[in-house]
Amino acid sequence: MNFTLHLTEACNMNCAYCTREKRAVRMSEEVLDAACDLAFAEGSRAGLCFFGGEPLLERGLIQRAVSRCADLSRKTRKPVQYRMTTNGTLLDDEFLALALRENIEIGLSFDGTAQDIARHYADGRGTMAVLEAKAKALLRVQPHCYAMMTIAPQAAGKTAESVKYLYQLGFRRITMTPAYGFRVSWDDSTLALLMQQLREIAAFWSACILQGDAFYFSPLDAKIRECITGSQPAERCHLGFRQMPVTPDGKIYACTQFIGDADYCLGDVFRGLDREKQRELARRDAAPDSCRECALRPRCTNSCGCLNRLETGDERRVSPMQCSYERALIELADAAADRLYAAAPQRFAKRYQ
Amino acid sequence: MEIKPQKTARRPMYAAALAAAASAAVLTGCGTAGEVAIEGDGPTPVAQQITVITDTTPDTTETTARKTELILDGDMVVETERPPQVMGLIPPVTDPSDELQLEGEATVCPAYQNENESARLRGLMDADRLIAGFEKAGYSLAETDVWLNLPEMDLQAALLDKDANVMVLFYDGSADEYGESCETVLRRSLAGFEPAIRDWGANAKVRDAVGEHRAVFVDINKYGEMTEEAAEKIANNVTEMIP
């Protein structure tokens, strides 16, 4: 079973778009141990994603989890996988050695040259100067790690520059999503600016692929792949199934966006999962009414309950920003893919087959 | 910015071209090495809707051990490119769901990077129709009946001491999370449990300390969409074995 462990609600940063409340609340050792045990109790493997707040504020808990899971893995003969999303500011050689030894795959929240626009320390200082060195150290240990960009409207104009910067730094797997939620405000002009930047990124991405580079950029690659395979991002929402968050008090929720909502609490680490509630979630009709007749529905994230909730407060309601972005992105990704296919059909086929 | 449902969607050139290439590969006989042979009952109209053709010859040069990909919270990650290989660090990961799928084939969700997780989700969504099919066949799937979790192929461990008469597991027979197809794993696991291999999956009697159970394994690839007829057929096959 996969869990996202919210080891702490504290964070040493205060990003302009972050919607999470920061509090000095940490997971107890008792909750952590029970979460590890439960992860091994069902399924053929266990997975833990260390998350927060900032998880590296609680590296002692990470070490404890890894140690306990090693025992559990030996006893149950089930493999275990670790990941961690971090702002990176607290990465050091000691932790990178642990990550290397225990195979903790790290995703670095890093907005590239746009970093200082929205990602600040709690006291307001920028983090770019610190993070570049941390990113280089991480890439030395995990060359395949993800850089995870979140683009706020005020940083839209730096998106392309940021992607190229991250690429030149050594990242070959870059995810990017617009910042959503009540702390940001997109409008027509900032969205148009973002799409213009994405067109520039698409040209850069194509050039990289044509020269044989394995460069993965999530907004383009995901849309193209989904079109080829016929898979639906609508199915992507793993609400209550694939990976569930565990809060510091041990409660298990359907998704991080639903933490604190009793309707989406699926149990706790001591008593286990409420299977009936899980089934109820699985049966839910996730498609928003506004999207039912849309021809792009199979390729859009409209039924991601977590995103909808973040944007509109309603699991089954999309926002104008989400709809506009998805429509524009699909058109842009298809155009880029068509050009790439025309230029190098075999290389394209190899990449996506 | 506005919410603007689209009346039509263009099929991009690249998608059409790759689909055509895949069809040509099948017509020439490529890609059929892993065809799943179904024993038991003859084909039904439901079974005929989908031809299960897979090409899942394991690539022994690469590990397939980490298909239940944990995702990084804070983003939805869809892996497309293999990560660069770094000696001594992270083994490359292959994902069979990344392969191009034939049109008409039952779709699994690549984003899950775990076909059985997707299969289970799809199965649970169809559970109501399966329950209705059982009721039509004269048997109620009572609350004590268990819907099994994921591909818990160690049946005795999975079913041990469960207080239930019928247990249901939805799976994807063509998934190869274990380095071999789930169909193969399932058949091996069922050996010794008097299994009946069906054109929708399999059912078996399983005994443990509590008593005798009927375990039902429904392959989502074999019924496509759970129709009323498919549900009733499954129910009839299984209830034959219910005392």
ipTM for the predicted complex: 0.81
pTM: 0.69
Per-range mean pLDDT, top range of A266-280, B19-33, B144-158: A266-280
Q: Which residue from B149, B152, B144, B113 is spatially nearest to B213, judged by alpha carbons?
A: B144
Q: Which residue from A23, A3, A4, A2 is spatially nearest to A14, judged by alpha carbons?
A: A23
Let me know the angle formed at the C-alpha of B95 by B92 and B97, rounded to the nearest 5 degrees: 165
Average pLDDT over residues B78-88: 32
Residues in chain A: 353
Whether residues A214 and B82 touch (CB distance < 8 A) is answered with: yes
Strand partners, A107: A85, A146
Distance from the B171 Cα atom to the nearest Cα atom in chain A, whole angstroms: 13
Residue B225: pLDDT above 70? no
Whether residue A207 lies within 8 A of chain B, CB to CB, comes out as no
What's the pLDDT score for residue B210? 66
Lowest pLDDT segment from A80-89, A178-187, A244-253, B35-44: B35-44
Lowest pLDDT segment from A34-38, A276-280, A287-291: A276-280
**What is the overall mean pLDDT for chain A?**
89
Q: Which residue from B217, B149, B220 is spatially nearest to B189, judged by alpha carbons?
A: B217
Q: How confident is the model at residue A151 (pLDDT cuts 50, 70, 90)?
A: very high
Of all residues in chain B, what percent carry a pLDDT higher than 90? 1
Average pLDDT over residues A202-212: 91
CA distance A239 to A244: 8
Residues of chain B in contact with residue A188, where contact means CB-CB under 8 angstroms, are 1
Q: Which residue from A114, A83, A331 is spatially nearest to A202, judged by alpha carbons?
A: A331
Whether residues A324 and B1 touch (CB distance < 8 A) is answered with: yes
Whether residues B147 and A279 touch (CB distance < 8 A) is answered with: yes
> CB-CB: which of A150, A175, A296 is closest to B77?
A175
Residue B24: pLDDT above 50? yes
What's the pLDDT score for residue A111? 96
CB pairs under 8 A between A and B: 230
Distance from the A202 Cα atom to the nearest Cα atom in chain B, whole angstroms: 16
CA distance A132 to A143: 15
A189: part of which helix (H) or strand (E)?
helix A188-210
Of all residues in chain B, what percent carry a pLDDT higher than 70? 40
The chain A residue lying nearest B102, using CA atoms, is A229
Interface probe, candidates A11, A44, A102, A146, chain B, greatest B C-beta count within 10 A: A44
Sort B29 into a burial class: Cβ within 10 Å, 0-12 / 13-18 / 19+: exposed
Whether residues A235 and B112 touch (CB distance < 8 A) is answered with: yes
Whether residues A320 and B2 touch (CB distance < 8 A) is answered with: yes
Interface probe, candidates A100, A144, A292, chain B, greatest B C-beta count within 10 A: A144
Residues of chain B in contact with residue A222, where contact means CB-CB under 8 angstroms, are 78, 80, 111
Strand partners, A3: A48, A244
CA distance B153 to B68: 15
Whether residues A320 and B114 touch (CB distance < 8 A) is answered with: no
Q: Which residue from A281, A339, A85 is spatially nearest to B120, judged by alpha carbons?
A: A281
Whether residues B84 and A226 touch (CB distance < 8 A) is answered with: no
> Is residue A305 a contact partner of residue A278, using CB atoms and an 8 Å limit?
no
Residue A102: pLDDT above 80? yes
Whether residues B15 and A227 touch (CB distance < 8 A) is answered with: yes
CA distance A92 to A80: 24
Phi and psi at residue A99, in whole multiples of 5°?
Answer: -60, -40
> Is residue A83 a contact partner of residue A95, using CB atoms and an 8 Å limit?
no
Whether residues A142 and B89 touch (CB distance < 8 A) is answered with: yes
What's the pLDDT score for residue B159? 54
Residue B218: pLDDT above 60? yes
What's the pLDDT score for residue A109? 93
Whether residue A287 lies within 8 A of chain B, CB to CB, comes out as no
Stronger pLDDT, A146 or B210, i.e. the higher one: A146
Whether residue A334 lies within 8 A of chain B, CB to CB, comes out as yes
The chain B residue lying nearest A185, using CA atoms, is B1
Distance from the B41 Cα atom to the nearest Cα atom in chain A, whole angstroms: 30
What's the pLDDT score for residue A334? 95
> CB-CB: which of B74, B77, B150 is closest to A43?
B150
Average pLDDT over residues A223-243: 68
CA distance B65 to B58: 12
Whether residues B111 and A216 touch (CB distance < 8 A) is answered with: no
Lowest pLDDT segment from A204-213, A241-250, A317-326, B211-220: B211-220
Lowest pLDDT segment from A62-76, A109-123, B141-155, B228-242: B141-155
Stronger pLDDT, B157 or B134, i.e. the higher one: B134
Whether residue A299 lies within 8 A of chain B, CB to CB, comes out as yes
- C-alpha to C-alpha distances, A244 to A262, B141, B148, nearest whole angstrom: 14, 28, 18
Angle between helices A305-312 and A320-343 (to 10 degrees): 130
A contact residues 74-93, partner B, Cβ 8 Å cutoff: 79, 81-85
What's the pLDDT score for residue A140? 86
Q: Are strands B196-198 and B201-207 parallel, antiparallel or unpaired?
A: antiparallel
The chain B residue lying nearest A322, using CA atoms, is B3
